[in-house]
Amino acid sequence: MRIHAGGVRPRIVPLSYLRDPMTAYAAVGGLPWPMLLESGGAVHGGRYDVLVADPVCTLITRDGVTEVWLAEDRRWRSRADPLVLLRRVLGPCRAGPAPFAGGAVGWFGYELGRRFEMLPASGQRPSGMPELAVGIYRWAVVTDHRKRESRMVVQPGAPRSWRQVLERLGGLARAPSAAPFQPRGRLRTSLDRCAYARAFERVARYIRDGDCYQVNLAMGFETAVRGDPVTAYAWLRRRSPAPYGALLSVPWGTVLSNSPEGFLRVRGRRVETRPIKGTRPRGVDPADDRGQRRALRESIKDRAENVMIVDLLRNDLGRSCRPGSIHVPELCALESYANVHHLVSTVRGELAPERDALDLLRGCFPGGSITGAPKRRAMQIIAQLEPWERGVYCGAVGWLGFDGSMELSLAIRTALHQGTALEGRLRFWAGGGLVADSVLDQEYQECLDKARVMMELAGQTPAADTAR
Tell me which residue of 79, 51, 83 sits closest to 66, measured CA to CA.
79
Which of 282, 229, 244, 284 has the alpha carbon at shortest distance from 413? 244
Catalytic residue among 111, 131, 222, 261: 261
- Residue 352 neighbours by CB distance under 10 Å: 17
> Which among 462, 66, 417 has a CA at the least distance from the CA of 248?
417
> Is 277 an active-site residue?
yes
Compute and round to an integer the Cα radius of gyration of the chain.
21
Alpha-carbon distance of 150 to 48, in angstroms, equals: 9
CA pair distance 431, 442, nearest whole angstrom? 12
**Are the C-beta atoms of residues 33 and 55 closer than 8 Å to each other?**
yes
Active site residue 301: no
Length of the chain as a residue count = 468
> What is the 8-class DSSP label of residue 372?
E
CA angle 452, 389, 204 (to 5 degrees): 75
Distance between CA atoms of residues 463 and 467, nearest Å: 13
Q: Which of 277, 305, 350, 407 is catalytic?
A: 277
Q: Which residues pair with 361 in a beta bridge?
A: none
Which DSSP string do the residues of 206-223 spell out, in sequence order? HHHTTS-SEEEEEEEEEE
DSSP-derived 3-state class of residue 64: coil
d(CA 309, CA 404): 26
Task: Count H helices and E strands in the chain, helices first.
Answer: 12, 25
Task: Give the residue numbers marked as catalytic.
Answer: 261, 277
